[in-house]
Amino acid sequence: MAEECILQTKGISKSFFGVNVLNEIDFSIRRGEVHALMGENGAGKSTLMKIIMGIYHADAGEILFEGKPVVIRETKNALDLGISMIHQELNPIPEMTVAENVFLGREPHVGRLPIVDFKKLNQMTQDLLEKYEMADRISPQMHMSSLSIAQIQMMEIIKAVSYNSKVIIMDEPTSSLSESETKQLFKTIDLLRASGVGVIYISHRMAEVFELSDRISVLRDGSLIETIDRAHATTDHIIATMVGRALSSGYPRNHAVPGEVILEAKGVSGAGFEDVSFQVSAGEILGFAGLVGAGRSETMRAIVGYDRMKSGEIYVDGRRAAVRHPSDALKLGIVMASEDRKSLGLILCRDIKENISIQNERRYSRFGFMNHRQEREQCEGIAHEMSVKMNGIADIAGNLSGGNQQKVVLAKCLLTHPKIMILDEPTRGIDVGAKAEIYKKMVELAEGGMAIIMISSEMPELIGMSDRILAMSGGRVRAEFDNRERQTSQAEILRAALKGVE
Amino acid sequence: MEKTISNQRKASNILKRFGLLLVLVLMVIVMSLVSDVFLTTGNIINVLRQVSINGILAVGMTFVILTGGIDLSVGSVVAVTSVIAGNLLQKGYSLPVTLGASIGAALLFGVFSGVLIAYAGLPPFIATLAAQTIGRGFALVYSDGRPYMIAHDTYKAIGKGSWIGIPVPIWIMAVVILIAAVVLRYTTFGRHVYAFGGNRNASKLSGLNIRTTEMATYIISSFCAALAGTILSARISSGQPTAGQGYELDAIAAVAIGGTSMSGGIGHLSGTILGFIIIGVLSNSLTLLNVSSFYQDIVKGFIIIFAVLMDLRTKRSGN
C-alpha cells in the first residue's frame, strides 16, 4: 500500500499571520491515479500545492517521495524529483516556439558547442506530442503567441512529462477550455494515468471530477476532511463535505416579469464581432452562449465603451445613447464585471475599499474631494452585503481568494446602482458556495428590476439561470432561445455555437 | 483573533515606514556624537534649505512614479525656467509676467511629455528622455549658452530671503508637500493616480479617464520643476542653461528610497519626504566630515541599494 504511493504528505501545517491555513494534512497520490482535490476557495488547496512545489514552506510535517522523506526548498527541487504543476494562469514565452518553451533551459546542443540543435529539439518535442496523441493539434514549430489556451496547456503538459514527471498537478485546467478541448485534455490525462503518472486534479466542476478521478479528497478550512474512492462518492455528499452544510443544489428561479426593454443593440460591429443585435428588458436575465473566442466579451466591452465600436447603435430606455468611454456607460447605468478579474476587474495591489470606491467616487465626493467616512461606510456596507470574507475593507485585493475577488468586483459594480449589469463568466474559478450566493444575488437583482446580461461557457449554468439565451459564434449571433421554462437543450445551443466554426 | 491579525499587519506597516525613519535617526545620533555643529539650528535650517529643491522635485516625481512612469526631464525643465526668467528680468519685465512665462514654458514641457505618453503611447522613459534633451538644447539655444545675471531683488528673495527666520525655499517646499499630501489623500484625483498605477485597464473599465490622469502627473512634475528652477536661479542670482543637470536622478532616488514601487500603485508621500531628507542629511554629514563630494555620490548609490533592499525584504516577509 505504502510503496504504491509516489507522493505523501504527513502532518503538513502552515499558518500566515497567525491564521492556520493548513492543519496536519495527510495526503497521498498513487502511481497511475487521478486524485481530485476539492474545496471552497480559501480551503487551502493552492497552499498545499504550493508547499509541494516548494513555493511555500510548511511550518510542520514532512513530505515523502517514493517512500523517502524529501526536502523541497524551491520549485527546482520539486521538478528534479519529478513533480510538476500546470498553473491556472499559464505563462509561456510568447516569442518562442512550442519546442523552445518545452525544453527551455535544457536545449540539446550541437556536439559540445553552445549552439542549439534545433533539429533534435523539434524531433524530441514531436516524439512527445505523438506519444500523447497531440500531434494533430499542435506542432513543435508553432509560435506560442499563435496558440489557443488549450494548445498552451498541451505544451505545458508535454513540458511536464519531458521532465519525467511522476506527479503532475493541474489547477483548474478546464476553466478556459471549450467542451471539445476538455475532451481532448481528458484523453491526455488517461494516457498519463496509463503510463503511471499520478495526477492531482484541482477543480470545482463536479461532473469532471466524477468522470475523471479515482479518488477524491475534500479540504475545508485548512483540514483534509476526507479522502474517498470515486465509486463510493456522490455529488451531494461531496458538496455537503465541502461546505460543511447542506446546500440546495440547482438554480434559484427568477420570478420577475420582464418589463420594458432597457437596452437595445442594433447591428453593432467591432473587432471580433459583426452585426450583433439584441434587446434586454428590466427584470430579465439574458444569457450569451458560445465558445471561447465567439466574440461575446468583445461585444460587451464595446457596449460599455471599453473598446471601440465600428458601427451600430445602442438604445437605452428607447433613447439613442453615445457610449465612447466606460464613464458614459456608467452614467447611463450600464456596468460590466469582466471575466478577467486580474487584468480588468481589480487593482490587486490596493485594498478592498479603494477597489470598490474607484467606480463609485461620485457618490461620496464633492468638487473632487473625497468624504472618507461616507466612502468607508458605503464600501463596508456593500462588501458585507456581498458577504466578502475579509478581516476588513483594508485587506489587499490581491490576497483574497478567487471567489472573494469576484464578490468585490460585483460589489463595486452593484454600488453604482446600475440598471443594466453585464456579467462575464461571473462564476469562473470560484467554489460552489460562492456560486450559489452569486446566483441568488442575480435573481434578487433581476426581481428588483435590473436587466442582467450573463456570458457563460458553462451550459448548465446558462440554462439554469437565463430567461433567454443568445448563441454566438464567429462574432455573430446565430440563434435565440426562449428559456423561460429552463428547458433548452444543451445540444441545440451547442449546435448554434458551433455554426461557422467547424 | 481578527483584531490581532490586523494589528500585526499595522505593526509591520509601521515598522516598514519606521525602518526608514530608523535609518535617519541613526544617522542623526551618530552625527550629533561626532560633530558638535550638526544639531545646531543653523545647520538644520541649512540642511532643509539644501534639500528644498530636490524635495520639491521628488514630490512631483512621486506622482509620476505612482503611475508606474518616470520623468527624466525635470533637470532640463529647471534650466528652461531659469534662463527664461533670467532673460525676461534682464529685459525689465515685471515679476508676474516673468514668472508666468517661465513657469508656463515649464508646464508646456509637462504637456508635451504627457501627450506623448498618454495619447501617443510612448514609454515614459523614452518620452521624457526626449523632453530632457530637447529642454536642455532649448535652454542653450535660447541663452546662446551664456548665463543671465539676475538683479531683481524681489525675485532673488525667493531663493535667498527668509520669513520668521526660515528661508523662503523651505516655506515653498512645505506648501508643496502639504498640497501634494492633501491631493493624494483627500481628492479623487489622488485615488486615480494610485488606481492607474495599480491597474490601468481596470481603472478604465471603472470609468476613469486614464489619459488625463496620466498626463496630469507629468504636468505636476513639470510644475514642481518650474518651482525648483525659480528657487535655484533666484538663489544663485543667475539664469543658467546648464542648471539642474542630473537633478532628475536625485529626485528619483528620493522616491525609490521612500519605498514607492517603481511599477506604480504603491507608495506614500511620507516615504519620499524621508527619502530626500536622508539624502540631504547624508551629504551634509559627509561635508561636515570633510569627505569629498566625489565620495558622496558613491555613498549615495549604496544607500539607495540598501534602502530598496530593505524595502523588498519587508515586503517579502509581509507576504
Residues A180 and A327 in one domain: no
CB environment A332-357: b (16+ within 10 A), e (fewer): bbbbbbbbebbebbbbbbbbbbbbbb
The kind and range of the H/E element at B96 are helix B95-114
Chain B partners within 8 Å of A358 (Cβ): 191-192, 195, 203, 206, 208
Chain A partners within 8 Å of B191 (Cβ): 354, 357-358, 361, 370
Report the candidate in A456, A12, A463 with the shortest Cα–Cα distance to residue A219. A12
**Total number of domains in chain B:** 1
Give dist(CA B233, CA B103) in Å, integer. 13
* Cβ–Cβ pairs < 8 A, chains A and B: 88
Residues A463 and A408 in one domain: no
Q: Which domain holds residue A208?
A: 5-92+147-243
pLDDT in tens, A235-280: 888 877 877 765 555 789 888 888 999 999 999 999 989 999 999 9
Per the domain annotation, does A138 fall within a domain? no
C-alpha cell at B273: 519626504
Bridge partners of residue A28, in order along the sequence: A8
Q: Given a cut of 60, is residue A2 above it in pLDDT?
A: no
Q: What is the CATH number of the domain that holds A463?
A: 3.40.50.300
C-alpha cell at A171: 489547477
Give dist(CA B267, CA B270) in Å, integer. 9
Per the domain annotation, does A101 fall within a domain? no
Q: Given a cut of 70, is residue B314 above it in pLDDT?
A: no
Q: Is B202 exposed, middle or buried (0-12, 13-18, 19+ CB in 10 A)?
A: buried
Contact A344 B5 (CB under 8 A): no
Residue pair A25/A12 in contact (Cβ under 8 Å)? The answer is: yes
Residues A351 and A363 in one domain: yes
pLDDT in tens, A394-453: 999 988 888 889 999 999 999 999 999 999 999 887 877 888 889 999 999 999 999 999
Interface of B with A in 255-294 (CB under 8 A): 261, 265-266
Residues A173 and A66 in one domain: yes
Per the domain annotation, does B19 fall within a domain? no
Contact A326 B195 (CB under 8 A): no
Per the domain annotation, does A79 fall within a domain? yes
Residues A422 and A308 in one domain: yes
Bridge partners of residue A289, in order along the sequence: A471
The mean pLDDT value of chain A amounts to 88
Q: Given a cut of 60, is residue B8 above it in pLDDT?
A: no
Per the domain annotation, does A434 fall within a domain? no
Q: Which domain holds residue B282?
A: 40-318
* Distance to chain B for A370, nearest Cα, Å: 5
pLDDT in tens, A325-368: 999 999 999 999 998 888 899 999 999 999 999 999 888 888 89
Name, in order, each residue with C-beta under 8 angstroms of A308's C-beta and a sequence gap of 6 or more: A270, A271, A302
Name, in order, each residue with C-beta under 8 angstroms of A224's C-beta and a sequence gap of 6 or more: A25, A26, A27, A217, A218
Contact A348 B194 (CB under 8 A): no
Residues A423 and A488 in one domain: yes
* Distance to chain A for B247, nearest Cα, Å: 30
Residues A174 and A234 in one domain: yes
Residues A284 and A303 in one domain: yes
**Is the CB of B316 inside 8 Å of chain A's CB atoms?**
no
Chain A partners within 8 Å of B8 (Cβ): 17-18
Task: Give Cα B305 to chain centroid, integer Å.
Answer: 19
pLDDT in tens, B277-312: 999 998 899 889 888 878 888 888 888 788 777 766
Contact A391 B2 (CB under 8 A): yes
Residues A68 and A152 in one domain: yes
Residue pair A195/A79 in contact (Cβ under 8 Å)? The answer is: no
Per the domain annotation, does A107 fall within a domain? no
Contact A306 B205 (CB under 8 A): yes
Nearest to A348 among B4, B6, B199 (CB): B199
**Is the CB of A368 inside 8 Å of chain B's CB atoms?**
yes
Residues A153 and A236 in one domain: yes
Q: What is the CATH number of the domain that holds B261?
A: 1.10.3470
* Distance to chain A for B199, nearest Cα, Å: 5
**Is the CB of A329 inside 8 Å of chain B's CB atoms?**
yes
C-alpha cell at B30: 551618530
**Total number of domains in chain A:** 3
Which of A215, A243, A271 corresponds to the end of one domain?
A243
Give dist(CA A92, CA A102) in Å, integer. 9
Per the domain annotation, does A439 fall within a domain? no
Which of A214, A243, A272 corresponds to the end of one domain?
A243
**Number of C-beta neighbours around residue A490 at 10 A:** 13
